[in-house]
Structure 1
């Protein structure tokens, strides 16, 4: 290996992000042009970049609208781009959701709807079910984000309190043909969990959503609870005839990103060990487990001898207990550093591939054998910072934050632990 550990880790992250860029992966999934109109709709952090790539490669006329996160818009000629808030929805997203329904009203069997869906769409498409207002939706979203629930659990609740998610937008497109082009940001690549599945069938139920609410002690306003208890929030189920002409393709996934990073590692003479693309759980617990694996590599050359890099993806969670500036990737790294306890020749990077870890415009951070010593020298007790969920404050003061700006894609968390 000729580059520094930090340089190599940064190149691995860049390779993962580049592998998920819409421009690189959308062309091979273009559907056949229809006899009628082509309407493009979509939502997510990558949706604007997906729309731009689709425009470049589409051979015929088209029109449409997609909604993306503030700061993630890119210029399109025929597809309108609307920006809205993430992770807590706002009025701009509510307006965009209503306009998506307008886009697909009155279509015929000769028409084609192309749905460009990526992570973040749950917050970007707030259309509360009847009796629930936007403020209630925002409060429920904040409670879910703080609860420690998995992304699948959060999206189950969101689907059943929505008028657009859980296949409802796809049902509104009937009888047109619907082609979903998805960039997955969820463990296991479950289509119903990406942006809470506005254009795919959903097998989960209101009872499932209620179980999640009870499990995490999430307070619901009376109208929302009544909707779940009555079954009035049921989503569109598999086999519904309105979804008979829906087809779904994954154009980029976390596994693809890991494999791209692995190729760069091999070129650098470092053996990649892929631990999985769907690792979930509390970020600090995942830090302990992966730290233990890194120490096993150093002590026993298992599961691979050094030099190697342990690669993983998925989406961890953080149960917020403190008042710091947290994010799941920096929480993972701070826990990892404590587990490694200054072990020589172990370096790591963790970041969200969309460039935003938590609610900070910071993708993640890097650690090395000297991370804890430098923190103590600055008067920052690492354990206290972890207890306060202050990963961003910790790494920012060390100068080890990973800042990319908007990446215009999203295949969720990327973690690389380099053992030399």
Structure 2
């Protein structure tokens, strides 16, 4: 089938693959199968945080139409259902992401209040997905929201991976790092999680509000020093005092806490691979946790694609290379309009240098790449030539972190709006 792909069919195939990955992580399709039987006598309190919160809450309401429910969930502004129900049994609060706001702090405090004072016969259903750390930013005693907003901005600037960022967040928080499960004791706590983190570590997803935290204040201080972070004095003093550690593995307050993964990056990639096979492609999943600097990962993926096209290694054309994971964009000085996905894609396009028969998509499954309106973009064999014809230098755009602006000018952004799920970035390279 080599040579049978043209630009239109390749673009359509890439979009179809992305849709298959997002569909595999849709709470309305996957959540109900993971619910237990509701308690016969106790209360059911449904709380949660994350980009998928509104749709996860709806999935619970649909699965348990006759069960009395209370609680609330926190979702990002703009991440509501397209047609929300007239009456919600599980209210949805909205907050800012990635920079925290007062609405998120107030809603996080409301969640803690909702789970306190329960009995052993009650059930807390905690719905968690990516983005929850910023949405539920509740300062530890002695800190202010402004302190944590400054910390969050520094975390986003420094280029640290998500597990390092969350270690610091947990030790400045009154909500994350197992504190919600501890507050709910002795009630049963069931966490249903949609993973957006490498390795699907539940302690990292939204900073693990219901999961024991193995990290320490000492580790948080070491990370601040390693990344040379400029934190507010109050935050530095709090880390130095180390007065109240997060609940650790073996803490009896977390003995009744159980977690189930309902959607993960690998599940999405497997669904995309199955869709690729249906198109006559030979899929190869390179991994679900490819990390590193975005442009450098793009260069590496381009090299693998060229090897497939030239040598048939590691897979012969027509081939499909799939990967997932959260890259890093380290910004120094002024920056244009970029995102992890589009920066990876532009690095990839430059590595391919117009090689024929290779198309690529890099998108965030939540529908938002960075702060742009797009989920990501598509690169084609003539991406560089078309950019230069418009008077845009792709290398200058990459150096200035203006990848989204370049792909917008080419008309190659993928715009879906919020998908109300999140299993991190996915990348698909079609080698025809």
Q: TM-score, normalised by structure 2?
A: 0.96
1:99 aligns to what? 110
CA distance in 2, matches of 1:263, 1:226: 52
Given candidates 141, 149, 157, the residue that maps to 2:152 is 141
1:5 aligns to what? 10
Given candidates 30, 47, 53, the residue that maps to 1:41 is 47
> Could you list the per-position Cα deviations for residues 194-246 of structure 1 after superposition, in whole angstroms to 9, with x for gaps in the alignment?
11111111101111111211111111112211221222252111100000000
User: What RMSD, in angstroms, separates the aligned Cα atoms of the two structures?
Assistant: 1.1
* Corresponding pairs, count: 420
Given candidates 208, 213, 224, the residue that maps to 2:219 is 208
Given candidates 148, 158, 178, the residue that maps to 1:167 is 178
The farther-off stretch of 239-248 and 137-146 is 137-146
1:70 aligns to what? 77
Matched, 1:125 2:136: yes
SS at match of 2:199: coil
Matched, 1:348 2:384: no
SS at match of 1:16: helix
1:19 aligns to what? 24
SS at match of 1:335: helix
Any unmatched runs of 5+ in structure 1? none
CA distance in 1, matches of 2:58, 2:9: 36
Matched, 1:60 2:67: yes
TM-aligned CA deviation for residue 251 of structure 1: 0.3
SS at match of 1:260: helix
CA distance in 1, matches of 2:103, 2:390: 43
Matched, 1:337 2:343: no
The farther-off stretch of 382-391 and 204-213 is 204-213
The farther-off stretch of 179-188 and 2-11 is 2-11
1:310 aligns to what? 321
Is the 8 Å Cα contact of residues 227 and 233 (structure 1) preserved in structure 2? no
Structure 1 stretches of 4+ moved >4 Å: none
2:431 aligns to what? 419
> What pairs with 1:223-372 in structure 2 (closer than 5 Å)?
223-232=234-243, 234-321=245-332, 322-372=334-384
CA distance in 2, matches of 1:13, 1:170: 35
> Could you list the per-position Cα deviations for residues 153-211 of structure 1 after superposition, in whole angstroms to 9, with x for gaps in the alignment?
11111111101000001100001000000000001000011111111111011111112
TM-aligned CA deviation for residue 97 of structure 1: 0.6
2:385 aligns to what? 373
Q: TM-score, normalised by structure 1?
A: 0.98
Given candidates 383, 404, 408, the residue that maps to 1:392 is 404
Any unmatched runs of 5+ in structure 2? none
